[in-house]
A and B are shown apart, each in its own frame.
Chain A
């Protein structure tokens, strides 16, 4: 029923694709930090494998994970712009935020071991510049801390606004 609502035109029969999933018992016995990153990685993989979009109940049914857990991770992925959601009535459908066409990491390391990666993404709605803020944690693993997504055609305007803001702030501070 949910599939019919979501995908008109005969595409509702598509079954959710998922990678090999660890047994539920094994997931539970992971360290909380590892469990979180595993579930998030799994959801990113599921989003990537299902370009038609996925819902929380669908992922829950496939993975046997709690709906609240999945919703929490999806919200985070939307917040850091790795995914985006579309609302159809009461239903939220989640999509991976496009295909990476080009990427480059900043050579400069900012304070607290943070750096930025710039991506060019492509999806049905056009091309985007995606900036991810990343942090190197105590084990030298890279964690995504935040992100911003700007449409290609708006990017120059965005940069001008940012520059204006920076000048304004520095002007205020010097006076």
Chain B
């Protein structure tokens, strides 16, 4: 009776889709829910401000942070919160405390960055703030050294082999592996996570999938007294070309007793014309999820970094997550200049330079009903500073995702879920339409 359990109540159902209410302790969310991936301090400020002041947040209420982002954004705030001031009272950040009490937090171990290089240094920096397991930091340092000292071609070959052998060695030494799992779960708790996510490897092969399955089981055992713990699959996009591996995952989730299952397909681009096999196998996965949810409505499914697939995933997954920019690709990371605007009807991004033309053709306004875009005029847009636009387009994206999730919710309530298919057909994501059944 010490840990807070996740309670899922299905409220409405229309064929394959459903709405539900999810509760953990005093925190409640409605599904389909948009879970914002927060990567920067300004994103956190914008999201916190929005969730505390705006009324258009029915389908929000959860957010996810990668462990190294949480170390920069949340840990300093949490430390200040626990300190005592000279007058004998506590330092309190009322807004942050209120936000924390209302929103469900997931902290993603993000161990795909043991394979991809984008955040090596941030991971190492985070280990100064948080007790990240030594095996992980040692491996990152070794990788960084190798990257600096060898040619790009050699490094690419070595990287894949070293990633696989690192996980296999860790798995062979059960004491070290269990230590690593426990230390990651502790790190997530330090960051204030409500639901724990196991530190599974980035699955690129069958061997790594077996390790991921094992780590999921052990994480459940270790988290028993800590908090609710999810089953987590962190998968390379190419897994959607291997039916046997996908069958293994489906088999696992069918027999899994855990209440919440989280998927992350790294750099998933199902809308691209060449991804026919991937789309078919993704369809198989969503059918399996629908079947499990039908037989056990207490189960919750979540997808991370769903990018342009967010609207589609909202029909099958209960919680859908994507970054506040709407892009979930590391290759675009760190670009400067005025970022693109998410076009709600087209479900894709439009260049900032094209916005004045679009506004001119739309009576001087952007074709979006969100509170932020309604206040935007052409002169305002032209005089906007980089920082203002940076925050603004994130607020717009969050409000848009809330609207899109509300649209799915409404379609389920009125028993017209097929309308989501129509919406996809009229967008730039029409390649995804066949994933939504007609009947």
- Enumerate chain A interface residues (CB-CB to B < 8 A): 19-20, 22, 25-27, 29-31, 34, 37-38, 40-42, 44, 82, 100, 103, 117, 119, 132, 134, 139-144
A73 CB to nearest chain B CB (Å): 12
The size bracket of the interface on B is 20 to 34
CB of B434 within 8 A of chain A? no
Give the nearest-CB partner of A36 in chain B: B225
Task: State A41–B174 Cα separation when bound (angstroms).
Answer: 21
Assess the B218–A26 pair: CB atoms within 8 A. Answer: yes
8 Å CB contact of A31 from B182, B189, B227? B182
Task: State A167–B171 Cα separation when bound (angstroms).
Answer: 60
Assess the A142–B2 pair: CB atoms within 8 A. Answer: yes
Assess the B1–A139 pair: CB atoms within 8 A. Answer: no
A159 CB to nearest chain B CB (Å): 22
Which residues of A sit under 8 angstroms from B175, Cβ to Cβ? 29
Which residues of A sit under 8 angstroms from B222, Cβ to Cβ? 30, 34, 37-38
Tell me whether chain B's interface is mostly helix, strand or loop, or mixed: helix
Task: State A127–B290 Cα separation when bound (angstroms).
Answer: 40
Which residues of A sit under 8 angstroms from B227, Cβ to Cβ? 141
Assess the A100–B1 pair: CB atoms within 8 A. Answer: yes
Which residues of B sit under 8 angstroms from A134, Cβ to Cβ? 2
Q: How many A-B residue pairs have CB under 8 A?
A: 69
Q: Which 6 A-B pairs have the closest CB atoms?
A: A41-B224, A37-B225, A29-B174, A139-B189, A29-B175, A141-B226
B201-241 toward A: CB 8 Å interface, digit per residue (1/0)? 00000000000000001100110111100000000000000
Assess the A30–B189 pair: CB atoms within 8 A. Answer: no
Assess the A34–B182 pair: CB atoms within 8 A. Answer: yes
Assess the B2–A143 pair: CB atoms within 8 A. Answer: yes
8 A-B pairs whose Cβ atoms sit less than 8 Å apart in the complex: A19-B257, A31-B178, A31-B179, A38-B221, A132-B2, A139-B186, A139-B226, A142-B3
Task: State A140–B191 Cα separation when bound (angstroms).
Answer: 9
- Whether A22 touches B221, Cβ cut-off 8 Å, given contacts A34-B178, A139-B189, A141-B227, is yes
Which residues of B sit under 8 angstroms from A141, Cβ to Cβ? 3, 189, 225-227
Assess the B257–A140 pair: CB atoms within 8 A. Answer: no
A122 CB to nearest chain B CB (Å): 14
Assess the A82–B182 pair: CB atoms within 8 A. Answer: no
Which residues of A sit under 8 angstroms from B373, Cβ to Cβ? none
Task: State A100–B4 Cα separation when bound (angstroms).
Answer: 14
4 new A-B contacts, CB < 8 A, other than A31-B182, A34-B182, are A22-B218, A26-B218, A38-B222, A144-B1
CB of B250 within 8 A of chain A? no
Which residues of B sit under 8 angstroms from A19, Cβ to Cβ? 257
Task: State A106–B224 Cα separation when bound (angstroms).
Answer: 23
Assess the B174–A26 pair: CB atoms within 8 A. Answer: yes
Which residues of A sit under 8 angstroms from B297, Cβ to Cβ? none
CB of B192 within 8 A of chain A? yes
Give the nearest-CB partner of B4 in chain A: A142
CB of B190 within 8 A of chain A? yes
Question: Which B residues between 30 and 74 are near A, CB-CB below 8 angstroms?
Answer: none
Which residues of B sit under 8 angstroms from A139, Cβ to Cβ? 186, 189-190, 226
Which residues of A sit under 8 angstroms from B218, Cβ to Cβ? 22, 26
A11 CB to nearest chain B CB (Å): 26
B423 CB to nearest chain A CB (Å): 41
Task: State A103–B26 Cα separation when bound (angstroms).
Answer: 12
B76 CB to nearest chain A CB (Å): 15
Which residues of B sit under 8 angstroms from A117, Cβ to Cβ? 1
